[in-house]
Structure 1
Amino acid sequence: METERLIMRRWRDTDRTPFAELNADPEVMRHFPNRLTREQSDAMVDRIERDFGVFGYGLWALEERASGRFIGFTGLVLQTFDAPFLPAVEIGWRLTRSAWGQGYATEAARRALGYGFEEAGLDEIISMTAVGNTRSRAVMERLGMTHDAAEDFDHPWVARDSPIRRHVVYRLKRP
């Protein structure tokens, strides 16, 4: 899939090193429980690729069209952990810091939402993040997603004493 400035594609072996670097960056991973080791990062790529085979969608690798540079991912993933609003398909993104502030996450997410609604036939897509992740929340709002504070929750995979335990949920229904 393509957008004006991005190629959204399946993963290549050459993506693994820059993806591991992204996952090890403390600022990129600030709103996640832990940075990932190389092995954990590679295992995530393997899970992402497996999801494409199972669902027909997943977290697409993002490549800048102009430079061919890998900058992260954006896409759709089925979430099934223990929360009252799940299971649901979530849209998510993770970009290298050098790609922040350029509108790439919003651009790619719009295309992923289109795929989810038009091609995958989903009726609703959610997104969630730590309460303090204002950058991701701004993307969710630019996408037209809505937040209901009554759905805020403590993420079961985050330590009870962690400042990122409390999460928000945003929703978007098929247009």
Structure 2
Amino acid sequence: MTDAVTTARLEVRPPVEADRARFVEFLCDPDFMVFYPVSYTEAQANAKFDHLLALCQEIPFGKQPVVERATGRVVGYTGADYLEVEGRTWLEWGYRLIPECRGLGYATEAGNALLAVARRTYEGELLAVIAPDNVASQKVIGKLGFTFWKQAPVLGDLCNLYTLLVQRP
């Protein structure tokens, strides 16, 4: 497991059991899950959180809570998780923030901080999957260094796919 990374405004750290209720709340909220095909049920959200706990034991830049340092509240998550696309298992980069924290640069700030961990610990290609009408997220993924690859169906929806080649220094 990796340690927390901090920026001027944020901390990105591995999830802990105390984060469960907040993550279940997020994953069951349609406003938080906008641009995802469905919101989770409580049971699905708990299973997803269990998956994230295990994932961060394996991948130092797995999906992790984004904590607003000024308030101490978890405002979303960023990082990578496994995703099957076109018969290949990818490390898929993603992020979600609570609605009131969108548009503040948090996704880019947290993403860059955790991508620095990826660059120290991983070599390979990362994938990002973004809804074509999610213009704000397309701008964020570009700021993180990803480039447009193509449009393809993912989980039943046509999505824009972006890639980033990560190489250790």
Alpha-carbon shift at residue 62 of structure 1 (Å): 1.2
Report what 2:142 is aligned to. Answer: 141
Alignment counterpart, residue 65 of structure 1, candidates 55, 64, 69: 69
Alpha-carbon shift at residue 21 of structure 1 (Å): 2.3
Q: For residues 37 and 89 of structure 1, what CA distance do their matches in structure 2 show?
A: 24
Percent identity among equivalent residues? 29
Alignment counterpart, residue 86 of structure 2, candidates 83, 87, 91: 83
User: Which AA in structure 2 matches 1:83?
Assistant: E
Report what 1:92 is aligned to. Answer: 94
Report what 1:108 is aligned to. Answer: 110
Alpha-carbon shift at residue 92 of structure 1 (Å): 0.7
Alpha-carbon shift at residue 82 of structure 1 (Å): 4.1
The gaps in structure 2 that reach 5 residues or longer are: none
Q: Deviations over 1:75-133 (max 9, x none)?
A: 12232x2415x322221111111211111111011112111122x22232221122222
Report what 2:119 is aligned to. Answer: 117
Q: For residues 58 and 115 of structure 2, what CA distance do their matches in structure 1 show?
A: 18
For residue 6 of structure 2, give the secondary structure of its aligned residue in structure 1: coil
Q: Is the 8 A contact 1:117 1:123 kept in 2?
A: no
The gaps in structure 1 that reach 5 residues or longer are: 159-164
Report what 1:126 is aligned to. Answer: 127
Q: Which moved more, 1:63-72 or 1:20-29?
A: 20-29
For residue 74 of structure 1, give the secondary structure of its aligned residue in structure 2: strand
Q: How many residues align?
A: 163
Q: Deviations over 1:21-65 (max 9, x none)?
A: 222322222211111122211111100111122334311111111
User: Which consecutive segments of 4 or more residues in structure 1 shift more than 4 A?
Assistant: none
Alpha-carbon shift at residue 12 of structure 1 (Å): 2.7
**TM-score normalised by the chain length of structure 1:** 0.84
Q: Is the 8 A contact 1:49 1:58 kept in 2?
A: no
Q: For residues 172 and 111 of structure 1, what CA distance do their matches in structure 2 show?
A: 15
Q: Which moved more, 1:103-112 or 1:135-144?
A: 135-144
Q: For residues 166 and 57 of structure 2, what CA distance do their matches in structure 1 show?
A: 24
Alpha-carbon shift at residue 71 of structure 1 (Å): 0.6
Q: Which structure is higher in strand share? A: 2
User: Which AA in structure 2 matches 1:92?
Assistant: G
User: Which AA in structure 2 matches 1:141?
Assistant: G
Report what 2:160 is aligned to. Answer: 168
For residue 87 of structure 1, give the secondary structure of its aligned residue in structure 2: strand
**TM-score normalised by the chain length of structure 2:** 0.87
Q: For residues 35 and 145 of structure 1, what CA distance do their matches in structure 2 show?
A: 26
Q: Is the 8 A contact 2:56 2:64 kept in 1?
A: no
Alignment counterpart, residue 21 of structure 1, candidates 17, 22, 25: 25
For residue 152 of structure 1, give the secondary structure of its aligned residue in structure 2: strand
Q: Is the 8 A contact 2:82 2:92 kept in 1?
A: yes
Q: Note the aligned Cα RMSD (angstroms).
A: 1.8
